[in-house]
Structure 1
Amino acid sequence: MGEYVFDLSIVAVLVIGITAIIGVLTNGAGETFFGGKKRTEYTDKSADVQAGWKLVGGSKK
């Protein structure tokens, strides 16, 4: 029974890991090849909203 649980755990980790990696690679390829002019639309808007905000936290060196 222990071997079964071990094998099942290995297969589960591989399936979840491979699925996650394929998702990230596919998303990156989609943005790169099919993003067009509006590829950075949301990140640009986020940067515009955050412009002028005071930085909080962290250490000052």
Structure 2
Amino acid sequence: MIGGYVIDFLLVAIFIIGGTALMGVIANGIGEKFIKGKKQNEHVEHSNRTQLGWRQVGGKPK
């Protein structure tokens, strides 16, 4: 009798946690594709502009 409740509780917990995780992945995908738009690489491009002309450190010289 108690075993049935435990199994039901575990199944519901797995579905709730799994559903929440899946909704997070879907929302992140929608945000990256539709909401960011043209500003998708804004931070990478800014970082590259900042580092333009910097001297390479470490490794063998080219």
TM-score with structure 2 setting the length: 0.61
Equivalent in the alignment of 2:32: 31
Equivalent in the alignment of 2:14: 13
Equivalent in the alignment of 1:22: 23
What is the aligned length? Answer: 50
Note the aligned Cα RMSD (angstroms): 2.6
TM-score with structure 1 setting the length: 0.62
Gaps of 5+ in 2: none
Larger radius of gyration: 2
Task: Read off the aligned partner of 2:40 and give its amino acid letter.
Answer: R
Gaps of 5+ in 1: 55-61
Task: Report sequence identity in percent.
Answer: 44
Equivalent in the alignment of 2:3: 2
Distance (whole Å) between structure 2 residues aligned to residue 40 and residue 6 of structure 1: 46
